[in-house]
Structures are given as structure tokens and as C-alpha cells.
């Protein structure tokens, strides 16, 4: 048995999802007439009470399009130093948008309203780049799947409003946060100018992310998507998986979180595990002692059929997902005892 905990992106589409994909009506999305893509975009926008949506191939693309659309070259984006948009998008925000970043040291990747306020440059000072965008990540990957709640975000929104700045959300795993807090999609939609959500993470789709925002903003992002080669044709095959996932795979995320907490309890009994990040959603990050390198530990796990990723010199990450079962959880417990 192979147990793949490298990421929640490794899932295979379920038989019912495949069925939905195969029977989807298709058109040409560059011409705007793929009915399934249009249905997914309308559905997602209305879930969040936002005007429009754009279906894309990846969360990197939706984030990059959002940054490109909100900013001009030379502007500055405020985000946490552990943000995916900065660490894991290939330097895209510099390459695609020509912007600089003000990197804040948040609490496990979550920044505060006071930090944001202090990082906004005086627009009258020509030495400084113009602060043009604030970007949050929820849940926070590098912070171990911790999340912001509505009051946290409202307070940051207020600072943005005082300075006339748009607020973007990298919500690759937003639904993982929402099933924990019980907060609504609409309430989050009201606080952001743009939201990126991933369908190919916990929701179990093979491909796809959505960018949500105002009609004009999305029209501009669509233009940039084409410019970057991201226009696609019979994408309804993939959009059908997205519609299926939004209908069937949101509430079950709680199961992934429960299993992640069980993994945490197992790891807590292991002598080689020095520290475990608090487990808030589906991400488990743990620290090994100075004497054990994460690469060696991960290689040892791989030899036992357990796949994980290193998340630092002595840090290892497990992510639970749709294809990780209770049976695999039991097998993991047996295999961890070495």
C-alpha cells in the first residue's frame, strides 16, 4: 500500500466526478460559449456574492492574474513573508507584474492590521514604491494550515479602506477554513476585492482554480489570461469536475481535518518528533531533532510506502485529502513505529 501525503493535490477524480466530466456539455471557452465553464463561473461567483469569476488551470495563474490586474510595474504588494505568492510561484509577481513586495513577519503566516498599516508607504514620497495591494492567504500553507477568521480580516479590510487599497485572498484552501469556522462564503466575498480558490486541492478536482471579483476586474484578468497563453477551449470537461466538487466535496473536508489531528496524536508519541505545529485543518508539519535531516527521514518513509515532503531542513509536512482513508491511517500508524 502506498500512502501519499505529499499534498492534497494528489487525488484521483472519483467515479462520480469522472461521470460528470464525461457527460458535460462543451463549447469553446475562448469564444465564451462553453456552457459548463460558464455554469461553474456563475455558480462560484454567486456562492461568494461576487459579480464574476474566471476559471483557470492553476492557483498560481489565478493569483498572478489578480496581482497583474490590481497593480502596475513598480508598485508594491504587502503580504506575509511565508506567502505562496512570494515563495512558491517562481518569482512570478516580479516577472509577470514587475512589482516589489513588502514581506511581513506574521504569526504562522498571518499578518495583523497594525503590521499592514505600518507597511503602507507614504504615497507623497517619490522614493518609495506605491503600495497598491494587500494579499492574504487562507488557510496558510507554510504556517501549517492555520486560518484567519472574519474579525481578523475585517480589521485588515478597514486599514485597506482607509488607504484605498484593494485586498486579495489566496484562498487555495479557503474551504478548509470555512468548514472549521462555519463562516459563510458570502461574508468572505464581501471583504475581498478578489479571491482565488483551488478546486484541485482538498476539493479533489484533477485541474482548476477560480478567480472571483468585480465584472470589470474579471474582464481585465481574462485579457491577461489570454496574453499569458491561458485561454482554453473545451475546458468544460474540467469545469464539470469543479461543479461536482463544489456540490459534493466541501463538507467532507472535516474528515480530512479529523484524520490530520489523529496523525498529530500518533506523531506526539514518537521519540524522533520534537515538535508538531498546531493542527487546525488538513496540514501536519512536524520538527525533527538537529541530528535528523528531513530529507533522510522522508526517504526512510518512502521506503515504507509513505510519501511526504520536506518543509525545511528539519521539518516534514503531511497533508490529508480525499484519497486518504481510515485504513491508510491505521497502516500509517503501524509504519511510523520504526
Ligand X SMILES: *Cc1c(COP(=O)(O)O)cnc(C)c1O
Which 3 state secondary structure label does DSSP give 179? Answer: helix
Note whether 137 binds ligand X by CB under 6 A.
Answer: yes
Note whether 198 binds ligand X by CB under 6 A.
Answer: yes
Note whether 170 binds ligand X by CB under 6 A.
Answer: yes
Of residues 97, 141, 194, 320, which one binds ligand X by CB under 6 A?
A: 141
Q: How big is the chain by its Cα radius of gyration, in Å? A: 20
CB of 141 to ligand X, least distance (A): 4
Per CB under 6 A, which region of 54-62, 95-103, 108-116, 158-166 contacts ligand X? Answer: 54-62
Spatial separation of the C-alpha atoms in residues 35 and 26, rounded to whole Å: 6
Q: Which residues of 246-281 are buried (b: 16+ CB within 10 A; e: fewer)?
A: beebbeebebbbebbebbbeebeeeeebeebbebbb
Q: How many residues bind ligand X (CB under 6 A)?
A: 13
Which residues have CB under 8 Å from 11's CB, separation 6+?
A: 204, 321, 322, 323
CA atoms within 13 A on the CB side of 307: 11
CB of 59 to ligand X, least distance (A): 2
Of residues 3, 36, 40, 58, which one binds ligand X by CB under 6 A?
A: 58
Which 3 state secondary structure label does DSSP give 198? Answer: strand
Note whether 172 binds ligand X by CB under 6 A.
Answer: yes
Note whether 282 binds ligand X by CB under 6 A.
Answer: no
Q: Which is nearer to ligand X, 177 or 332 (CB)?
A: 177
Which 3 state secondary structure label does DSSP give 304? Answer: coil
CB of 22 to ligand X, least distance (A): 23
**Measured between alpha carbons, how far is residue 301 from residues 290, 318, 333, 334 in Å?**
18, 11, 12, 12
CB of 139 to ligand X, least distance (A): 8
Q: Which is nearer to ligand X, 44 or 120 (CB)?
A: 44
Site residues for ligand X, window 220-279 (CB under 6 A)? none
Name the residue whose CB lies closest to ligand X. 59
Q: Which is nearer to ligand X, 58 or 115 (CB)?
A: 58
CB of 309 to ligand X, least distance (A): 12
Spatial separation of the C-alpha atoms in residues 152 and 84, rounded to whole Å: 20
CA atoms within 13 A on the CB side of 56: 30
Site residues for ligand X, window 72-111 (CB under 6 A)? 84
Spatial separation of the C-alpha atoms in residues 149 and 139, rounded to whole Å: 10
Q: What is the CA 257 to chain-centroid distance, rounded?
A: 16
Q: Which is nearer to ligand X, 97 or 200 (CB)?
A: 200
Per CB under 6 A, which region of 55-63, 262-270, 279-287, 306-314 contacts ligand X? Answer: 55-63
Judged on CB neighbours under 10 Å (0-12, 13-18, 19+), 49 is middle
CB of 200 to ligand X, least distance (A): 6
| Interface ranges with ligand X (CB under 6 A) | 58-60, 63, 84, 137, 141, 170, 172, 198, 200-201, 209
Amino acid at each position: 500500500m502506498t500512502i501519499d501525503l505529499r499534498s492534497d493535490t494528489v487525488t484521483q477524480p472519483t467515479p462520480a466526478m469522472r461521470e460528470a466530466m464525461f457527460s458535460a456539455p462543451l463549447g469553446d471557452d475562448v469564444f465564451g460559449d462553453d456552457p459548463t465553464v460558464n455554469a461553474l463561473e456563475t455558480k462560484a461567483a454567486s456562492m461568494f456574492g461576487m459579480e464574476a469569476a474566471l476559471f483557470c488551470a492553476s492557483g498560481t495563474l489565478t493569483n498572478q492574474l489578480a496581482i497583474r490586474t490590481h497593480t502596475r510595474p513598480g508598485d508594491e504588494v504587502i503580504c506575509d513573508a511565508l506567502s505562496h505568492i512570494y515563495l512558491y510561484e517562481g518569482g512570478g509577481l516580479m516577472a509577470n507584474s514587475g512589482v516589489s513586495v513588502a514581506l511581513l513577519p506574521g504569526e504562522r503566516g498571518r499578518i495583523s492590521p497594525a503590521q499592514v498599516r505600518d507597511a503602507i508607504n507614504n504615497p507623497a514620497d517619490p522614493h518609495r514604491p506605491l503600495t497598491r495591494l494587500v494579499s492574504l492567504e487562507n488557510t496558510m500553507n507554510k504556517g501549517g494550515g492555520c486560518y484567519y477568521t472574519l474579525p481578523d480580516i475585517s480589521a485588515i479590510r478597514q486599514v485597506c479602506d482607509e488607504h484605498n487599497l484593494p485586498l486579495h485572498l489566496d484562498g487555495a484552501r479557503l474551504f478548509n477554513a470555512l468548514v472549521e469556522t462555519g463562516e459563510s462564503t458570502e461574508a468572505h466575498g464581501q471583504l475581498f476585492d478578489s479571491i482565488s480558490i483551488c478546486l484541485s486541492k482538498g476539493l479533489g478536482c484533477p485541474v482548476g482554480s477560480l478567480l472571483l471579483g468585480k465584472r470589470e476586474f474579471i474582464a481585465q484578468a481574462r485579457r491577461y489570461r489570454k496574453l499569458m497563453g491561458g485561454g482554453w477551449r473545451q475546458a468544460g470537461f474540467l469545469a464539470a469536475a469543479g461543479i461536482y466538487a463544489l456540490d459534493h466535496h466541501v463538507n467532507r473536508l472535516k474528515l480530512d481535518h479529523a484524520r490530520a489531528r489523529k496523525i498529530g496524536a500518533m506523531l506526539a508519541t514518537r521519540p524522533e518528533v520534537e515538535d508538531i505545529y498546531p493542527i487546525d485543518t488538513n496540514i501536519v508539519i512536524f520538527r525533527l531533532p538537529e541530528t535528523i535531516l528531513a530529507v533522510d527521514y522522508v526517504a526512510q518513509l518512502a521506503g515504507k510506502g509513505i510519501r511526504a515532503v520536506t518543509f525545511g531542513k528539519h521539518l516534514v509536512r503531511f497533508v490529508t485529502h480525499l484519497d486518504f482513508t481510515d485504513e491508510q491511517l491505521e497502516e500509517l500508524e503501524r509504519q511510523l513505529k520504526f
